[in-house]
Amino acid sequence: MQDDFTVFWKNNDRARTLFYDLLARSERRAYDDDFLAQLAAYREAAPDSERADIFAAQYLLHHGDAENAALCGERAFQKRPLNLEVWRVLAAAYKQLGRELDAVTMQGYAYGLYRGADTGGIDLDLSLTEEIQNEALGRLTLATGKSLNAPTSTSRAYLMNPGLGFRFDVFIGEEIPITMPQGSARFWSAAYAENTGLSDHSYMLTEARHTAWFTRYGHRDFFFDLQKASEVRGTTEIALPAGREAIVPLAGTVPDQRISVTTPSMGTRDIYLGKWAFSFFRLNETTQLYADAQDAYAVGTPILLEHSPVRRKLVLNIFVDALSWAVVRPYAATHLPNISKFFARGTIFDQHFSTSEHTLSAFPAIETGCYPHHTHIFNVNAGRELPAEMTTTAEHMKALGYYCAIPMGADQGLSQGVMRGYDRAVLSTWIQNSVDGVDHVLRQLKAFDEVDQFLFLAVNDIHPYDGLGYKFDTNVETHLPLADRFFDHTERTASVFLTNMRIYQEQYLERVRQVDHNIGILLTYLEENFAADEYIVSLYSDHGVPIFNKETSDKLDIISTYVSNATWMMRGTGVPVGVRTNELTSIVDIQRTLAHLCGFSVAACSDGNLPAVFGGRERDVVCSTSQFPGQTFKLAVRTRDHALRLETQEFVDEDGRVDLAGATVGIYPREHELEEGYRLDSEELRAFFYPRARDFVRAIASNGEHWPAMRAARPQWFG
């Protein structure tokens, strides 16, 4: 790399030459001593590259050493878990080792993105015994990446007669096959029911689960109730410590399912459960349950009732999807009066930035404190599950003894394991209106007032959607002139590419008012029902919006300040009072700050920083990216005064890699990013920004080294 800062990025020519030499040898299957010598040279030239381990695994498989091939493949998988060649070597190694479920997962990853061998992927080769059949089909379904909105799946694997098929389906009345923390039951999927017929939703789902209308559209405002539970048949016993009480969720698998309940004090009585719906029961002694063996039922993990002086009674995270602080800060007095008033007695961060332009990548970054290029959750079409060592905030809070719940949230992130630490999650795909969310949280607070709770509420009222086919708020529609109701596009557009049309802006601001009104009710309840030292409340967003962007060119800036300047406010025990700070913060800092306030240690892989206002050290830069396969990679590295902006010439590949050579790089004043005539030619600024930007992107740089099969499968990207 040049150290005079005249060139931002220069590839490693020696490493690239060695890579293509090894690639040619592997294509000839020339796995000999010369191959090993070249591999050793490549490891020395590129010590951090996963490609050396891929080549090593190929060599070992050729020579019949599947065990060590798996070890090399697993090292490569840790660094590049969305890579086709990694999946190939691991699928083969696991198959030879008899690790069928692991082999199924790797095959599923490849099949989901690249289909069979004739299109560059892997032909499915499944050896399904009766013992592992259901688990294997479930893992295969999630691995293919077609369950982004699980529990719904647009392509669930099932056995036909004969062969394997895929169809629309819903995980309902069963476990969702995601990996859970050690000792934790899986989520058992039910329909959310409150003050209604217990089995009503089950009749609809039975008819609709395999239909396109439900899986593509009907589920958008349908709420699932996921709770940690085990499915049992016949008799089971719930043992309670002497003198303790617990709440236990139970769900049935047939309508009006009769369960016999036996306790020492009451003898045997009957209760009735709904099909695919949870009910709660309060127990104060060891209890035995019995049902006819032909029908299973779900028994949730008991929720022991107690408060602890070392915990807060409530730690509440309020996630307001797409709340851009750059947009709403000037409107705070008129559009956010209730939220602003509440958090004025806490800390508000004015220079808070997202890592990404969309929720898929940003939400895991918040929950783990790790950048998207470390979580590797950025590909909307790929199956991916967080590794166990990337512990989520809910996992930490659960370990501290909190009852962890999502009274209302979005299902994006479930299949990736982002929500695995919660005991309960009430989720829908699209519709999470704050008026409903506040009601859910208030109900949760009252129902579980005898436990210390960690709650996560997600609302998406203000998130903009393409106006084609969308019903805007009536208050907006009735006040806009007809001239503002015509759109400048004729095809559906992703929200990150929406332009600054007045109707989008008015819709956004109207919904901000509504969020403030509804969240304000919740915040008032907290002030009236909790002492000041009994809670910690955070309100934050995952990203902003492009619909207020300045028009600086024909190109839409999807990591502009309006898109990247997210919202973060805190109030409660340990939070400085009356502070409004310009300190630079990132969404990956939220977990580390909660760790500081609640008393847990973050994982070693965390990228988060404890802000100076909490006793940590101030960041000197914040980084925001767009790492979307099939698009150019974009980076913004910001200080309070300046921003380095980078965009590659090449598109991002499916595994997140991109060639940085030849990228367009410029440094601008913050208020004039990407504007012609404002680019700064300053050796001092380059000396400051270049090393920081290089360190940030190093892990995704391809060095011009590309796997042919991956490139050939995407001719629309790479020619």
For β-strands 257-263 and 267-273, DSSP reports them as antiparallel
Strands, E, within 436-525: which ranges? Answer: 453-459
Give yes or no for a contact between 510 and 473, defined as CB atoms under 8 angstroms apart: yes
Residue with tokens 């039922």: 297
pLDDT band at 553 (very low <50, low <70, confident <90, very high): low
Looking at residue 488, its pLDDT comes to 81
- Please compute the mean of the pLDDT values over residues 605-620 and round it to a whole number: 98
Looking at residue 11, its pLDDT comes to 97
Looking at residue 552, its pLDDT comes to 66
- The token pair that represents 50 in the structure block: 């996963």
In SS3 terms, 202-230 reads as: HHHHHHHCCCHHHHHHHCCCCCEEEEEEE
Looking at residue 217, its pLDDT comes to 83
pLDDT band at 625 (very low <50, low <70, confident <90, very high): very high
Read off the pTM.
0.97
d(CA 146, CA 673): 37
DSSP 451: B
Residue with tokens 């089971």: 236
384-437 pLDDT per residue, tens:
999 999 999 999 999 999 999 999 999 999 999 999 999 999 999 999 999 999
Give yes or no for a contact between 304 and 246, defined as CB atoms under 8 angstroms apart: yes
- Please compute the mean of the pLDDT values over residues 150-175 and round it to a whole number: 95
pLDDT band at 162 (very low <50, low <70, confident <90, very high): confident
Looking at residue 444, its pLDDT comes to 98
Give yes or no for a contact between 49 and 14, defined as CB atoms under 8 angstroms apart: no
- Please compute the mean of the pLDDT values over residues 587-596 and round it to a whole number: 98
Nearest to 143 by CA among 161, 122, 160, 159: 122
Q: Both ends of the chain: CA-CA distance in Å?
A: 28
Cβ burial, residue 304 (10 Å; 0-12/13-18/19+):
middle
Looking at residue 554, its pLDDT comes to 67
Instruction: Give the sheet arrangement for strand 235-238, strand by strand.
Output: 235-238, 287-290, 257-263, 267-273
d(CA 45, CA 42): 5
- Residue-wise burial string across 306-328, b where 16 or more C-beta atoms lie within 10 A, e elsewhere: eeeeebbbbbbbbbbbbbbbbbb
Looking at residue 565, its pLDDT comes to 98
107-140 pLDDT per residue, tens:
999 999 999 999 999 999 999 999 999 999 999 9
d(CA 436, CA 425): 15
Q: Is the pLDDT of residue 2 over 60?
A: no
Give yes or no for a contact between 151 and 184, defined as CB atoms under 8 angstroms apart: no
d(CA 210, CA 189): 16
Percent of the chain residues past pLDDT 90, beyond the cut: 95
Half-sphere exposure of 478 (CA within 13 A, CB side): 4
- Please compute the mean of the pLDDT values over residues 355-360 and round it to a whole number: 97
In SS3 terms, 407-438 reads as: EEEECCCCCCCCCCCCCEEEEECCCCCHHHHH
Looking at residue 276, its pLDDT comes to 98
In single-letter form, the type of residue at position 303 comes to: I
335-357 pLDDT per residue, tens:
999 999 999 999 999 999 999 99
- The token pair that represents 564 in the structure block: 């990247």
Q: How many CB atoms lie within 10 A of CB 681?
A: 8
d(CA 646, CA 75): 30
Give yes or no for a contact between 107 and 125, defined as CB atoms under 8 angstroms apart: yes
Nearest to 702 by CA among 638, 629, 639, 644: 629
310-339 pLDDT per residue, tens:
999 999 999 999 999 999 999 999 999 999
- Please compute the mean of the pLDDT values over residues 690-714 and round it to a whole number: 97
Per the model's pLDDT, the better-predicted residue between 676 and 618 turns out to be: 618
- Please compute the mean of the pLDDT values over residues 478-504 and round it to a whole number: 92
650-688 pLDDT per residue, tens:
999 999 999 999 999 999 999 999 998 999 999 999 999
Q: For all residues of the chain together, what is the average pLDDT?
A: 96
- The token pair that represents 587 in the structure block: 């969404």
